[in-house]
Amino acid sequence: MLMELGLLDRELTFFDYGCGHGADVQLVREMGISADGWDPVHAQIESKKKADVVNLGYVLNVIEDPAERTETLIDAWHHANRILIVSTMVAGQESYTTTTREFGDGILTKRNTFQKHFEQSELQFLIEECLGYEADAINVGIFVVFRDPADRQTFLLRRVRRRRVLNFATIPRLRLADAPSERHTRLELLAERNREQLDLLWQRTLELGRYPSSEEFAPLETLLKAVGSKRTLDRLCAAFFDTEALSLARNRRIEDVLVYLAMTHFRGKPKLKELEAALKEDVRVLFGSFAAANQQARELLFAAGKAENIQQLAEEREFGCNEPDHFTLHESLLDDLPPVLRIYVQCASLLYGDPHQSDLIKIHKKSGKVSLLFFEGFLEKQVPELRSRVKISLRTRRVQVFSYGTHDNRQFLIFKDRYLANTHPAYKEAKRFSRKLQILGLEPEDWPHGMTPVQMKELAGRINSKA
């Protein structure tokens, strides 16, 4: 997960605190990363070492003494130069059919080993109380802690930024009908002579939603010398750039910044000095000041806290599945939500992790909750099976994990096209299968929670008989 998030690469060192027999350390080394490990039982001969990234993986949940857990957590943090990742078992992930007995604040398993299943918020509280730093969830039972607050803000910003980018167009050859012929020709010549750099400038501008600074676009100074002045460059941009595309990119950038700031306000406002240089430039150009940006973000956060706003905005969507109490959509549609709904979901992400890891996102319209649903083969299978559900309460900050897969609670999703955009690659096939179900007399509104195994077996028989 660290590697997927860009938090661990070959430029950084890695230390596994409580490495067991060291299999993970060896695996990381094989990836070309400098890695070491230590374990109080299996690797005592190794010494503890400081590293850029320290992993405390599934250690705290097997320590019986709460005081020893605290000492272990603090010692692991002492060895982390940049990042500590902490993972434990959490409530809802129990895999033991029977236990010998309760022991302390945990249980003794059939193998007579201690195991504690933390609540998600309990683990977050423990980390933050012991270390004095914010802990950010990246999955159930997995938190990351940054030594540098600026690194944390960069991480959070990347989480909320849209993943789909605008299609970049080259500079169109437009004419200035109302300009004198001589000036008109000069601008066209300048555009043609500097077309390659202007194209690059245009791409970078659409990426940022604003014109870049010289630090964000290296050829800028060279381009300014070529065209003569900043004023001439501005006129070239106005004449040859698609202003509608730039306006769209600008609005997207503004929304992303506001969603990020509102999300951070949910747990504590960031400081200007903690923001990366590009974000500081966003604030200066797009909002005028950090105070103005924060004011708009606070207003959106308060709006996200009102159930009537969530209900209205959800029911205005032309995609996803609206039911009386819920609005459910595929994770790929998260970026298409209006800012207030994005903020609502991203605040939940602070308590769970990246919502894009799930298949379906269910927004509870009235209760201040978000549920994330995980299926086996959601896109590949016509009738995917529900594997787990995570319910996050924004009001109580409680995270509940529900596991599926036993015979009694297995669920199979039908009419999955309801949750996809009609442009999604899997939509047409899903829609075709849904039409077959309707021919058999099934209707989407009658199956809000999917089918049981018995109902699925009956449905398969009906489909086969029709075939």
How far is C-alpha 265 from the geometric centre of its chain's CA atoms?
Answer: 17
Asked if residues 131 and 74 have their Cβ atoms less than 8 Å apart, the reply is yes
Range with the lowest mean pLDDT among 183-192, 240-249, 391-400? Answer: 183-192
Helix ranges, 64-209 (H)? 66-78, 120-131, 149-160, 181-193, 195-208
Asked if residues 390 and 358 have their Cβ atoms less than 8 Å apart, the reply is yes
- Residue-level pLDDT at 182: 52
- Residue-level pLDDT at 467: 59
Sheet holding 142-146, edge to edge: 34-38, 13-17, 51-57, 80-87, 142-146, 135-139
- Residue-level pLDDT at 380: 95
Provide the residue ranges of all domains of the chain, joining segments of one domain with +.
13-147, 181-241, 318-466
Residue 81 structure tokens: 């130069």
Per DSSP, the residues of 286-332 read IISSHHHHHHHHHHHHHHHT-HHHHHHHHHT-SSSEE-SSEEEEEGG
- Residue-level pLDDT at 176: 44
- Residue-level pLDDT at 167: 60
- Indicate the pairing of strand 360-364 with strand 369-376: antiparallel
396 CB burial (10 A radius; 0-12, 13-18, 19+): exposed
Helix axes 243-265, 149-160, angle to 10 degrees: 130
- Residue-level pLDDT at 97: 47
Per-residue pLDDT reduced to its tens digit, 136-147: 999 999 999 999
Helix ranges, 338-442 (H)? 339-352, 427-439
- Residue-level pLDDT at 45: 66
Higher pLDDT, 111 or 467: 111
How far lies 40's CA from each of 20, 29, 381, 446, in Å? 8, 21, 45, 56
Range with the lowest mean pLDDT among 295-299, 363-367, 457-461? Answer: 457-461
How far is C-alpha 92 from the geometric centre of its chain's CA atoms?
Answer: 22
Residue 198 structure tokens: 């202007």
Report which DSSP code applies to 382.
Answer: S
- Residue-level pLDDT at 278: 93
- Residue-level pLDDT at 87: 96
Per-residue pLDDT reduced to its tens digit, 42-59: 876 678 999 999 999 999
- Residue-level pLDDT at 320: 96
| Nearest Cα to Cα of residue 418 among 454, 446, 388, 387 | 446
Asked if pLDDT for residue 171 goes beyond 60, the answer is no
- Residue-level pLDDT at 212: 94
Residue 202 structure tokens: 């245009």
- Residue-level pLDDT at 186: 80
Per-residue pLDDT reduced to its tens digit, 173-204: 444 444 445 555 788 888 888 988 998 998 89
Asked if pLDDT for residue 223 goes beyond 60, the answer is yes
Report which DSSP code applies to 145.
Answer: E
Residue 448 structure tokens: 């809000």
Range with the lowest mean pLDDT among 124-128, 176-180, 257-261? Answer: 176-180
φ, ψ of residue 338 to 5 degrees: the values are -65, 160
Distance CA 85, CA 57 (A): 7
Range with the lowest mean pLDDT among 177-191, 226-240, 373-387? Answer: 177-191
Higher pLDDT, 358 or 458: 358
Residue 2 structure tokens: 């660290």
Asked if pLDDT for residue 411 goes beyond 70, the answer is yes
Q: Calculate the CA dihedral of residues 443, 446, 449, 450 and round it to 10 degrees.
A: -40
- The residues, ordered by sequence, that sit 6+ positions from 85 with a Cβ below 8 Å of its Cβ are 1, 2, 7, 53, 54, 55, 56, 57, 138, 142, 143, 144, 145
Residue 199 structure tokens: 């194209």
- Residue-level pLDDT at 326: 95
Asked if pLDDT for residue 76 goes beyond 60, the answer is yes
**3 state DSSP class of 244:** helix
Distance CA 183, CA 439 (A): 67
Distance CA 52, CA 203 (A): 34
Asked if pLDDT for residue 239 goes beyond 90, the answer is no
Per-residue pLDDT reduced to its tens digit, 319-353: 999 999 999 999 999 999 999 999 999 999 999 99
pTM for the full predicted model:
0.87
Note the CATH number of domain 13-147. 3.40.50.150
- Residue-level pLDDT at 177: 43
How far lies 181's CA from each of 176, 187, 188, 227, in Å? 9, 10, 11, 18
**H-run or E-run covering 261:** helix 243-265
Average pLDDT, whole number, for the chain?
A: 89
Distance CA 449, CA 434 (A): 15
As a whole-number percent, the residues of the chain with pLDDT over 70 amount to: 92
Distance CA 400, CA 464 (A): 39
